[in-house]
Amino acid sequence: MTLIARHWIDGVWRESERVEESTDPATGEAVGRYADGGRAEAERAVEAARRAFEQTEWSRDRALRHRVLSAMADAFEARAGELALTLTSENGKTLVESGMEVASTGPALRHTAAQALTETGIAAEVANGVYFSTLNEPAGVAALIIPWNAPVALFVRALAPALAAGNTVAVKLPGQTALTNALMAEIISEVPDLPRGVVNIFTESGNTGSPFLVESPDVDVVSFTGSVAVGKAVAAAGAATLKRINLELGGKTPLIVFDDADIQAAIPVLAASMTAFAGQFCMAGTRFLVHRSVADAVRDGLREALESIVVGPGRLATTQMGPLIDQAAVRRVDEAVERSLAYAKPIVRGGPITEGPLAAGAFYRPALLAVDDVNSPLVQEELFAPVATFEVFDDEDEAVRRANATEFGLAAAVFTRDVDRARRVGRALRAGTVWTNTWFVLDDGFAEGGFKSSGVGRLRGPLATAAFSEAKTYVQISR
């Protein structure tokens, strides 16, 4: 292979001294080569973004931002098929899952394009001839640090409000999806009217560029999606310059099944919640809390559903769950599951596929384990894999206590036919999103983010642009 996926910085395609291979987790084989960036690329990206913020009309021209974001939506949709195929080849998602991820970009960009035109401030004459007004202004340069598990959706989720608010951006994308990154950069590079240096994108497999983005005094706001541990490090490093920090971190999403739930309808949703994206997803269903009176029925239904999941390469139409991101993840997950057998009872053991045509890939069959102690590692730690706990409760209060018993609070779901219970339990749950009789239904008009250690700030909805804005109050006295 001679083509190398490159960085897009200050309107120019750039290479790096270091070149790495991108591999398909379904086969372990190389699918392309990419320029692997670091601090030097981060410095150039921030410099270009700062210059564009200060020297172009981007931060002041709402109509321009609306026009560019709308054109960007069209551009992503025009190359949706190519982008989905590339994503599947690099991170293993099924084509259906990749297609859904890519399809989310158009609506997100158009929603924020509208926000660029419709956002307003507040104004009042507070006394005779004394006028106050408060308006939002862009924070400045925004650094976006995006993970590999949903690089297209999570990139656009942060990029769209940052740009709509009038910021310029320096974006670090992950090495695991370098070819996907380069394709997204190519799509953006061809958007008409986008001023040079407003969007700067580099790929990094290591960890020298990201720290620079967080520590640089020329970066005004950081949006990071990733683990709790790294999120805490980002917050600590950003504190030195008191920059705005937006964090969406880990999750241990509890799905609570009450005795009056529609069990036959709930079981497929539960199974999908832990196997979608091979469980490598912060909102994945990793804890099933089930009322004792229906525990046997749910347990048996889940066992049958999980044992019948078709695991395989994401490009095959018959595949229901693709691989983990790499073999190291398979080893890490299986070691954690094996350790849990000291206190957990396997309902479905799952585990690595070590024989046959799938043995060369990073495949892991779903695992479901019955656990009593909410303080056990399997309940408290995010595995980022198709592994879930099965916990039994006796009443509503116990269900809420169990659901809230971890440091995480990103999402939760309640399955019941009682609308009052759904609202009552939802109010008691310490989570940023609570679904009733469903899972993973999102809308660009409504906030997404976490309580507790699952994050700081919100993306999507009107709060998203606020995360990338400063408020300025003007005072005028008429004479």
If we measure between CA atoms, which residue out of 1, 73, 71, 4 comes closest to residue 34? 4
Q: 74 falls in which pLDDT band (50, 70, 90)?
A: very high
Quickly tell me which residue has 């920090």 as its tokens.
245
Tokens of 62: 């709402």
pLDDT score of 2 more than 90: no
pLDDT, average across residues 205-227: 98
pTM for this predicted structure = 0.97
Q: 10 Å Cβ neighbour count for 448? A: 21
The pLDDT mean for the chain works out to: 97
DSSP string, 77-101: HHTHHHHHHHHHHHH---HHHHHHH
* 125 noted as active-site residue: no
Tokens of 452: 């507790």
Reported as a single tens digit per residue, the pLDDT across 87-116 is 999 999 999 999 999 999 999 999 999 999
Q: Which of 282, 382, 391, 448 is catalytic?
A: 282
Predicted pLDDT of residue 479: 78
Predicted pLDDT of residue 455: 95
Predicted pLDDT of residue 338: 98
C-alpha 305, offset from chain centre: 26
C-alpha 376, offset from chain centre: 26
Predicted pLDDT of residue 1: 38
Burial of 479 (0-12, 13-18, 19+ CB in 10 A): exposed
Query: Is the separation of the CB atoms in 381 and 408 below 8 Å?
Result: no
- The Cα 376–Cα 403 span in angstroms is 14
* 248 noted as active-site residue: yes
pLDDT, average across residues 328-340: 98
Q: Which of 20, 77, 90, 248 is catalytic?
A: 248
- The Cα 162–Cα 115 span in angstroms is 11
pLDDT above 90 covers a percentage of the chain that reads 98
Least-confidence region, from 114-128, 185-199, 426-440: 114-128
Residue 420, sorted as left (phi over 0), alpha (psi -120 to 50) or beta, turns out to be: alpha
> What does the angle CA 279 – CA 283 – CA 289 come to, to the nearest 5 degrees?
85
Q: Which domains does the chain have, with CATH numbers?
A: 4-249+453-477 (3.40.605.10), 253-443 (3.40.309.10)
